[in-house]
Amino acid sequence: MKTEWQETEKSDIAYRVERNTLVITLGSELDHHSAEHIKNRSEYYLYKHQIRHIVFDFAKTNFMDSSGIGVIMGRYKTVRGLGGTIAVANVSEQLERIFVISGLHKLVDRYQTVRDAIQ
């Protein structure tokens, strides 16, 4: 599928829109600092591009703390209100533990790749 819109921020986080899905490729670390950025940018895309679903791509990510859980939960609440879903892709074993302890794994769909998640 053609990427209709793409932007790379100054930070190492990338956002792209494929039809009604926003794909957020996270940077190496998802903490309070980067979570603030993701919160602000994703709200912008959601309203500008009629987004229903969000895919978080963790391929480059080797660290996440509870601030990451908070930002994913926040997006979950938003898209759920629009009838959408949240998916995550390329989650490492280490980050998997964070998902399980927080209970977030029950709310999001997990996929091996971003392509699988979008389909």
Partner 1 sequence: MFQNKMEVSFESISENESFARVVVAAFITRLDPTLEEISDIKTAVSEAVTNAIIHGYEGKRDNQVILRCEIRDREIKVVVSDTGVGIPDIEKAKEPLFTTKPEMERSGMGFVFMEAFMDRLEVESDVGKGTTVTMYKRIEIPMRMEESCEKSH
Binding footprint of partner 1 on the chain (CB under 8 A): 29, 31-33, 35-36, 39, 62-67, 69-71, 73-74, 94, 98, 101-102
Q: Nearer to partner 1 by C-beta: 66 or 85?
A: 66
Estimate the crossing angle of helix 32-48 against helix 66-81, to 10 degrees. Answer: 10
C-beta of 100: minimal distance to partner 1 in Å? 10
> Cα angle vertex 90, ends 86, 93, to 5°?
110
Complex with partner 1: residue 38 or 87, whichever CB lies closer = 38
Tell me the CA end-to-end span of the chain in Å, nearest whole number.
Answer: 10
Separation between Cα atoms, residue 2 and residue 56, nearest integer Å: 18
Minimum CB–partner distance for residue 39 and partner 1 (Å): 6
Nearer to partner 1, 18 or 56 (CB): 56
